[in-house]
Every structure is written in C-alpha cells, then in structure tokens.
Structure 1
Amino acid sequence: MGHTYEEIKIGDKASFEKTVTETDIYLYAGITGDLNPAHINQRVAENSMFKGRIAHGMLSAGFISAVLGMHLPGPGTIYLSQELKFMAPVFIGDTIRAEAEVIEKMEKGRIRLKTACYNQEGKTVLDGFAVVLAPKNR
C-alpha cells in the first residue's frame, strides 16, 4: 500500500471517512489538553453560536493526516506543511470525508496536495493545502 514519488501523478486522489463520536472528542481533548467548553460542556455550548458542542477543528485536520500517511502517498510519507481554513463546524454524529489530490510534483521528492474535509451533506468543513515528502521506495 502507498505510492512512491515516481509512481504519483498529478490528479491522483485519495480519501478517508469517519463518523465523529462523543468519545473521539473526549479522547482528543484529553490527549491535547484542549478542554474548551465548546467541545466538552453541553450546557455552555448550547449558548454558543453553534447551539451545541462541536468537534475540535484539528480533529478534522487529523483525518487529512490519515489520508496522507496511509493512502496518498501512504506509509513512509513525511508531512512537511499544512495550510488550513476552517469553513464550518463539525458536530457529534457528523460523518467527515477527508480528501487529498496531488496538484504539483516538486523538487526533492516533495508533493503538493489540495486537501479538504466534507460533512455528510457535502458541505466543506475544512479547506487547505499540504506539502509532503513522498517515500522513495516501498
């Protein structure tokens, strides 16, 4: 599984999909220390602009890491940079599809990808670009 720099073509795509659970949010909060009430306190979150708890934005960004590290390019990939724009909230129960598309093959084995996450309704919740160092061999 996975692709070397030589095998990768502009336009190649891969994705990963996951339904966000309450457990995911609590585990992420515990691991990172981000205990913002918007994520973990229903009563406080109900009075927010979102009217309920939302997932950490970086949780969705982590799904992009899953695409890059497991599918395109895949195992052996080194993540170099990521630009992110958070477009919409992710709620408990939302199914998020993270996608990456190769848009440029750069020098020294680097690949630039368009990255995005969409909810089950097709709404963009995260948009951005990544640069990775693709594996030289499998």
Structure 2
Amino acid sequence: MSEYKYINDITVGMKVSNSHLITDEKIRAFATISEDYNPIHLDEEYAKNSKFGRRIAHGAMITSFFSALFATNLPGPGSIYVSQTTQFKKPVFINDTVFVEIEVMDIDVDRKRVYFLTSCYVNEICVLNGKAEIYISRVNN
C-alpha cells in the first residue's frame, strides 16, 4: 500500500497501474457480492448463444479495479471516490489479463478534488475508459 499523498504533492500526468487476471472464481465471487447473477456472466451454455459466444466478466467488476488503485496508490488511503463515468468498449473474458491505469488529468486544490482518466486494456486493446473525480481531504501547507 502506498503512503497517502497530499493534494499539493499530486501533479497532472502522474499515473499508476496494475493488472488482474480474470478467473471464473473472481466472476462468481463478484456475482455473489453484487447479487448480479446475469447468466451472461455465469452460464456457459447461455453465453454460447450470446453475441459474445462465451461468458463475460461483469463490467462493474472491471471498474472496481480503479477503486483499488485510488485507495491504495494514488491518492491513497482516506481518499473518497466522488464520481466515475465509464464507456464500455469491448467485453472482458475469463483468462483475460486486464491492465488498469489511472492518470491525473486535472487538480482543483480549492475544492480538494483530483480528476483522473481511467482506462483498462486487454492485449493493448482498450476495453473501457472514462473519468473519475476523487476528493482528497488533506492539504500540505
């Protein structure tokens, strides 16, 4: 876990990333936590007849990886996730490795807000992107 950063220590262009292997176990665990039991995520026979031809991961599961980066890396513990916009571009499948990246795009010190670009890639292809707003309570005087 990274040390909490003061808002004045953050600069436009800062980035952090991580990667996650998507597994059947993770999808089933997310279904249990979220109570989203859509068969497109859980039932191979159902998914074979979908436009994807196989099971896909929950979109919300993939976006949750951003929360982990905000909470543990940039800005770190104590930061508050205010908003997220997301555009889903491609499905994520079991055994895909998702590369997750957040990048500081703007800072409003007076409002104690940091704005991020949020992106996920599988094999260097963007599967989703968006923007996030994070509240940071600590200012280094």
Scaled to the shorter chain, the TM-score interval is over 0.9
Deviations 1:81-103 (A, max 9, x none): 00000010000011111111101
- Aligned-partner Cα distance in 1 for 2:19–2:5: 20
What pairs up with 1:32-47 in 2 under 5 angstroms?
32-47=34-49
The structure-2 alpha-carbon separation of the partners of 1:130 and 1:39, relative to structure 1 and needing over 3 Å to count, comes to same
In structure 1, the residue matched to 2:4 is 2
In structure 2, the gaps of 5 or more residues are none
- Aligned-partner Cα distance in 1 for 2:139–2:39: 45
Alignment check: 8 A CA contact 1:45 1:52 kept? yes
Alignment partner of 1:21 is 2:23:
yes
TM-score normalized with structure 1 length: 0.95
Deviations 1:33-73 (A, max 9, x none): 11001000000001111100000001110011111111111
What pairs up with 1:1-138 in 2 under 5 angstroms?
1-106=3-108, 107-119=110-122, 121-136=123-138
Measured on the aligned residues, the alpha-carbon RMSD in Å equals 1.3
- Aligned-partner Cα distance in 1 for 2:27–2:112: 35
Q: CA deviation at 1:135?
A: 4.3
TM-score normalized with structure 2 length: 0.93
Deviations 1:77-125 (A, max 9, x none): 1000000000100000111111111010013210000001111x11111
The structure-2 alpha-carbon separation of the partners of 1:17 and 1:2, relative to structure 1 and needing over 3 Å to count, comes to farther
Aligned residue type for 1:64: F
In the alignment of these two chains, the number of paired residues is 137
Percentage identity across paired residues of the two chains? 37
- Aligned-partner Cα distance in 2 for 1:79–1:124: 23
In structure 1, the gaps of 5 or more residues are none
Moved over 2 A (4+): none
